[in-house]
Amino acid sequence: MNLIGLRTIKTAIAVTLSILVARLFNFEYPFFVAMTALISMDKTMGDSFKTGRNRIMGTLFGALIGISLSYIDRGNAFLCGLGMIILIELCNIFNLKGSITIGGIVMIAIMVHTDKTPIFYGFHRTLDTLIGASLSFVVNATVFPYSTVKRLDRIAIGLWDETEKCVMDLRNHKCVDTEEIEAKLTAIEGELNLYNHEFLFKNKKQYVNELTEHYKMAKRLLLELKVANTVDPTAAKDVYEYHIEKAIEIYNSYIEQQVIESNIQEIK
């Protein structure tokens, strides 16, 4: 049986807190607060922030457009269509395409669905969304946060060990299995992309940059090995050895650069 995932636990906590907060302040529709918390929960804090921001801005735009048009002729189908055009163009201008759907729902609800006054409904939907998104972000940032130095350490050590093993085998003229290092590189590529977009991890930016340089080196080394593996060592020995030596040279140059940078840091 698989253990319950951390994201599952965080989602449950965010939804629970959102309902408790909504009931504490006697909100009319706790559902909307919980729904936003649920949708805003994502893998990283940065992703949660982006999703929550989209919902907040979409709700706000939709409410403002719906309220404005409702005072012209509430329930008018043609005005609803006009409202959607305005909303979509507004979201495109501010690069908030993820806000269009929720904005449209709020705008249409104000125009044709709810019996509440437009301002009352728009204000409360915006408030519900703001609280739900905020709770989801706080939970994601404080409960088992994805971006940790410990996690990044494990990734860095795994790649480093595989790179060293690969170069050692080359120096001992052993056959190198490129599949393992290729798998490590594929895994780390996604992780680096997440960390580079994780704004709460900016204080560790130098650490991420160092790992990125190692990743680039390992990728270049792997390329030389893959080319060498396409060459028949008996028929084209010089070409084969060139790519093997090039792979080792890439590794050595990287190590030398690391030593130089380390010495500079010590001097500083």
* Rounded Cα gap, residues 42 and 83, in angstroms: 30
Cα dist from 151 to 5, 157, 215, 216, 261, whole Å: 16, 10, 16, 20, 24
* Rounded Cα gap, residues 99 and 56, in angstroms: 8
Query: According to the model, what pLDDT value does residue 90 have?
Result: 95
CA 37 to chain CA mean position, Å:
17
**Which ranges of the chain have pLDDT less than 70?**
1-2, 114, 146-150, 196-205, 260-268
Query: According to the model, what pLDDT value does residue 236 have?
Result: 85
Query: According to the model, what pLDDT value does residue 1 have?
Result: 44
pTM over 0.75: no
Query: According to the model, what pLDDT value does residue 30 have?
Result: 92
Query: According to the model, what pLDDT value does residue 267 have?
Result: 59
Query: According to the model, what pLDDT value does residue 262 have?
Result: 65
Q: In 3D, which of 222, 124, 210 has the Cα closest to residue 165?
A: 222
